[in-house]
Structure 1
Amino acid sequence: MSQSPHLTKLSRRAVLALPVGLAAASGHVAAAEPRRGGTMVMIVHPEPSTLAHYAVTAGNIPPIATQVYEGLCTYDWDLNPQPNLARSWEIAPDGKTITFKLQEGVTFHNGKPFTSADVQYSFMEVLKKYNPIAPVMLTELTSVDTPDPQTAVLHLANPAPYLMKALSGRDLPILCKSVFEGTDVLQNPSANKPIGTGPFKFVSWERGQSVRLDRNEHYWKPGLPYLNRIIARFIPDAGTRSAAMEAGEAHFAAYSAVNYADLARMTSNPILGLTTKGYEMTPAQSVLELNGRHPQLQKKGVRQAIAYAIDRNVILRDVMYGYGQPATGPLSRKFKTAGLYTDDLRRFDVPDRIEIANRLLDEAGAPRGADSMRFGLHLEVNSFGEQWLRQAEYLKQALAPVGIDVTLRSEDTATWLRRVYTNYDYDLNEPFLSQGVDPVYGLNKQFLTSQIRKGVTFVNDMFYSNPEVDRMLDAGMREPDPIKRGDIYKKVQQILAEDCPMVWLIDVQYVSVFNTKLHDHTTGPLGTQQAFERAWMDK
């Protein structure tokens, strides 16, 4: 699908008024023939700490890793699974067995043939043990049989229909067994020199500068990819990132690597276009995590007071520049059409929210001191862009009137993640969390007691543990009736909003900026978190 340059002529007001995805949905009048060759430069921010995509799920890794690693399936715009490394599959009537027929003639970048043994090893020995989301998505997987090199049979303890939505290279990548077997998986040299079956091969990583990926001349999809090379550039300064796009030095920037504040200016640049397509399988929320071990944050009234004190509309207006919607609770509105979302829960956006917050803090035994402050908290600033610093600055301002003195702490990505998810040395944390295409992905990893997993990023670091929620999330995984399943998740949302283990801020709308000479960059609902195998450039 070619991307239209026409969006560049619209005003910011008009851009915000467009239905989501319209920018990418309108193509050129006449489809152009793809051209072979060229180098695409994409901006990735911040620089990843690792490319071990199978063990770390930070959002700045997949734009690089999914060019190298592939999954059994890819997905169409309706979010239906399509053949990829698996050419077909059959689900048993009881839902407990999924038989995948694999593509023939596929080789890894090291020349090793791809077989069912690689699928078995990837799922059972790597993903189930080391991947942050796999213990949730693969909780029902008991074994993988390999009756022949081109057949992999997944055996499940219970039906898991959501699993078919998580078989992309982004979520459950397939690794080369011979590269990892007999080694320490987390220390394997290929972690930062990845070897996969994808359309591009890893060449080099110049720390602080870029990663180079070259065309896989032996790629199993005939004629693909079109590009000769992809360069992932790391540019710490927001102004320089925007300038690189405006000057044509970079061709693609996704996941809001270009700050929201600069998007209005981008729309007047004739070489640039914007699209909100490519995020359909990655709905996300900006949230405020609360460390449940903190003496004050252990009190439900204090947690609720923090939620009341924050005006989400200010964040939407001044930080997100209108891209997104104020969050109402634990699930994004994008789950509404599936009957899983509800806003019939405790609402924190009420007119007298500041009065309520102060009353709750008084009742929680947190009186004001001589300086009018009740207590202090540290807020860990999200390192993924300047907009998150602006959000943190607002949060500090918002909590001061209710007597909470917030100190901001900014660090590089690796230090930030280690402090929060390994050392638990934090009070407040402001990540943005992907919710995937099913509540099993988003809710389970954040709120199940079993997902308190020291050293694992973006899971339950709040120490939230509610047996009723555990039971209901477990039931929601296994409930086949969509109406009953919707009722379960609506009740879970109500309980979570009452317990308030985190504060839900914004249903995030990401934006991709692209050079109009780059075509077919956003060809599916995973956008930049799937391979640019069909992307091509005008010369």
Structure 2
Amino acid sequence: MKSFKRLRQLACAMSVMFAASMAAAAPQSGGTVVITTSPEPALITNALSSAPTTAELATKIFDGLLEYDMNLQPKPSLAESWTVSPDGKKITFKLREGVKWHDGKPFSSADVQFSLLKVVKDYHPRGQGNLGPVTSIDTPDARTAVLNLAYPYPPLMMGLSSLEAPIVPKHLYEGTDFRNNPAVNQPVGTGPFKFVRWEKGNFIELARNENYWRPGRPYLDRLIFRFIADGATRAAAVERGEIDVATFGTINPVEMRRLEKLPNITIAKGGYEAIAPVMMLELNVKRPPLDDKRVRQAIAYAIDRNFVVKNVWYGFGKPAVGPISSFVKASGAFTDEGVTKFDVKDRLEIANRLLDEAGLKRGANGMRTKIVHDVSPFGEDYRRMGEYIKQALARVGIDVELRSRDYPTFVRQVHNEYDFNMTSTWSIGMADPTLGVQRQTWSKMINPKVPFGNVSQYSNPEVDQRWVAAQTETDRAKRNQLFHELQRLLVDDSPIIWLMEMDLVAVQNKRVNDLITSPLGLRGGLYDTWVSR
């Protein structure tokens, strides 16, 4: 803690109580922004993990080939231009000239080829969905990368950001055990900020990349990601000005509502449009009684989504319809027509009837069965939601035991060993359902070596067929019809209980400017962010 305070004093000699009216008309260079997030990540290279806190950090260190504007249209990043062949099976990227890795080595097309084919496609939880039909990458010269596809793949151009497909240095990874490579937690990228140090249990420090390819960017000298175990302490630190930005879930929502009324604090709205986040309960469909569709549906009926939104998350979201979020409504992929509705007046009667039909009769204590609910380790609010779920399911005779585990243990036992009944989490749906939603329910994504995939171990040939068809269908109307069918099938089968479409907002000090400038929000590079001084 002392080392953090010294760092803060040296790097951030500025007032923390500026009102918005005092912000300069033009961006100023210099200064430090301190961000608190939770839990502390297990690793900080997102080519190997899609964990939220990993993504928040790594996207400042690494670049992707592309970025996206607020209309979700691709724009240049490491690739300054691109062309698509008439048959849609070849995409040629012209790479930016003069880009260097943080260690001074030159970036080239060989890094793109290696990163996408050897690392992201095999190790990133969404790698198969993003890059599935990419069979090879040609590198005719250092500035050209040609992606060869087995078939046209509409989602591909939406999955090449630093969040989804970060480019990593081939010269540090080739020939190594990727997961045990020291570069995983001492990362070297081409992005706006360089890794400096990680003081475990306290903070991670990133410093300005003075050789960044965007002239004059980033504006900030430093980013500090600070880890504080207690939510009340995090809120107090924001109020005192010790913390500039608190990511969603780090502060109790009722405290967020209180803080936003202070003159120097605001809610940083937006910045999740390309993420389409949905909160959910994942069910282990291989374990009784959750292997019975009727039991899964009963759980879905027993939970009052409106209560969860209003009383647990204080209005930061709205009830979810299913796996495909209404955030992507503009594309036509979302539908609620013909989708099973669980928030109905007689939902508890329906839930009890389904459990009776499943053969789960009430015992002398009124309970039918017992399940363990592993509460997500993403903050105290998930514990509060767990307490509500325990009460809600008890009303229909399901006895729920709440179990909390530290983050590494949670990932290992839930995602690698499948040692769970039910767990709470939230997932990134992305702007195209093939990129984010598919991995949750496609049987090919059942892989204990890659966390945050199909952890429910759900397998349905009808669902698989439609996911595969959606990958190759180029007619937009027909493709959206496939997504609508998937929405109906999956909600009816309920391998996952989709609870809430999340407003993934952050709390910020008003001295921080241009925090949200892309549809990836805090998962963008923050190279345009600056502070009033």
- What TM-score results when the alignment is normalised by the length of structure 2? 0.95
Matched residue, 2:8: none
Deviation, 1:135, is 1.0
Measure, in 1, the Cα distance between the counterparts of 2:261 and 2:23.
24
Alignment length (residue pairs): 515
For residues 370 and 445 of structure 1, the distance between their equivalents in structure 2, rounded to whole angstroms, comes to: 41
Counterpart mapping for 1:395-474 below 5 A? 395-474=389-468
Q: Deviation at 1:166? A: 1.1
Does the CA-based 8 Å contact 2:470-2:483 persist in structure 1?
A: yes
Cα drift, residue 28 of structure 1: 7.1
Query: Structure 2 matches for 1:363-374, cutoff 5 A?
Result: 363-374=357-368
Say which SS state the counterpart of residue 364 (structure 2) adopts: coil
Aligned positions of 1:24-423 closer than 5 A: 32-343=25-336, 344-423=338-417
Q: Tell me how far apart the structure 1 counterparts of residues 400 and 249 of structure 2 sit (CA, whole Å).
A: 26
AA of the residue aligned to 1:398: A
SS at match of 1:89: strand
Secondary structure of residue in 2 paired with 1:193: coil
CA distance in 1, matches of 2:165, 2:117: 11
Q: Which moved more, 1:112-121 or 1:479-488?
A: 479-488
Q: Is the 8 A contact 2:339 2:487 kept in 1?
A: yes
- Contact map agreement 2:60 2:526 (CA 8 A) in 1: yes
Asked if structure 2 preserves the Cα contact closer than 8 Å seen for 1:62 and 1:530, the reply is no
Match of 1:524 among 510, 518, 525: 518
Matched letter for residue 499 of structure 2: L
Q: Secondary structure at the match of 2:52?
A: coil
- Which residue matches 1:15? none
Distance 1:173 1:259 in 2: 32
SS of residue matched to 1:67 = coil
1:275 to partner: Cα distance: 2.1
1:510 to 497, 504, 512: 504
Instruction: Tell me the residue number matched to 1:18.
Output: none
Helix, strand or coil: the match of 1:492? Answer: helix
Contact 2:70 2:519 in 1 (8 A): yes
Deviations 1:153-202 (A, max 9, x none): 00011111211111111110001100001111111100000000011110
Task: Check whether the contact 2:268–2:515 (CA below 8 A) recurs between aligned residues.
Answer: no
Percentage identity across aligned positions? 46
CA distance in 1, matches of 2:419, 2:224: 36
- SS of the residue aligned with 2:40? coil
Cα drift, residue 31 of structure 1: 6.7
Contact 2:375 2:382 in 1 (8 A): yes
Return the offset for 1:52. 2.5
- Deviation for aligned residue 1:401: 1.1
Aligned letter for 1:534? D
Deviation at 1:206, TM superposition (A): 0.3
The runs of at least 4 aligned residues of structure 1 exceeding 6 Å deviation read 27-31
The question of whether the paired residues in 2 share the 8 Å contact of 1:255 and 1:511 is answered with: yes
The one-character-per-residue Cα deviations of 1:213-233 (angstroms, maximum 9, x if unpaired) are 111111111111111111110
Aligned to 1:13: none
Corresponding residue SS for 2:384: helix
Name the SS of the counterpart of 2:330 in structure 1: coil
- One-letter amino acid matched to 2:284: N
Whether the 8 Å contact between 2:514 and 2:529 is mirrored in structure 1 is yes
Classify the secondary structure of the residue corresponding to 1:246: helix
Per-residue CA distance 1:479-534 (angstroms, 9 max, x = gap): 11111111111111111112111111111111111111111121111111011111
Aligned residues: CA RMSD: 1.5
**Which stretches in structure 2 are left out of the alignment for 5+ residues?**
1-17
Cα distance in 2 for residues equivalent to 1:106 and 1:423: 41
Shift of residue 438, structure 1, vs aligned partner: 0.5
Secondary structure of the 1:432 match is strand
Q: CA deviation at 1:455?
A: 3.1
Instruction: Give yes or no for contact 2:280–2:498 (8 Å, CA) kept in 1.
Output: yes
Comparing 509-518 and 389-398, the one that deviates more: 509-518
Contact 1:35 1:226 in 2 (8 A): yes
SS of residue in 2 equivalent to 1:402:
coil
CA distance in 1, matches of 2:519, 2:445: 27
What are structure 1's unaligned runs of at least 5 residues? 1-7, 10-26
Question: Contact between 1:256 and 1:511, CA under 8 Å: does it hold in 2?
Answer: no
What is the alpha-carbon distance in structure 2 between the residues aligned to residue 28 and residue 115 of structure 1? 44
Output the CA distance in 2 between the equivalents of 1:366 and 1:68. 52
Report the residue type matching 1:136 in the other structure. Answer: G
Matching residue's letter, 1:436: M
Q: Distance in 2 between matches of 1:362 and 1:397?
A: 19
Question: SS at 1:60's partner residue?
Answer: helix
Q: Are the aligned partners of 1:418 and 1:455 in contact in 2 as well (CA < 8 Å)?
A: no
Q: How far does residue 141 in structure 1 lie from its aligned partner after superposition?
A: 0.4
Measured in 2, the distance between the counterparts of 1:386 and 1:30 equals 34
Q: Whole-Å Cα distance in 2 between the matches of residues 140 and 246 of structure 1? A: 49
What SS does structure 2 have at the residue aligned with 1:158? coil
Q: Deviations over 1:254-288 (max 9, x none)?
A: 23422211122112211111122111111111111
**Shift of the alpha carbon at 1:335?**
2.1
- Offset of residue 30 of structure 1: 9.1
SS across alignment from 2:437: helix
Task: Give the residue type in structure 1 aligned to 2:256.
Answer: L
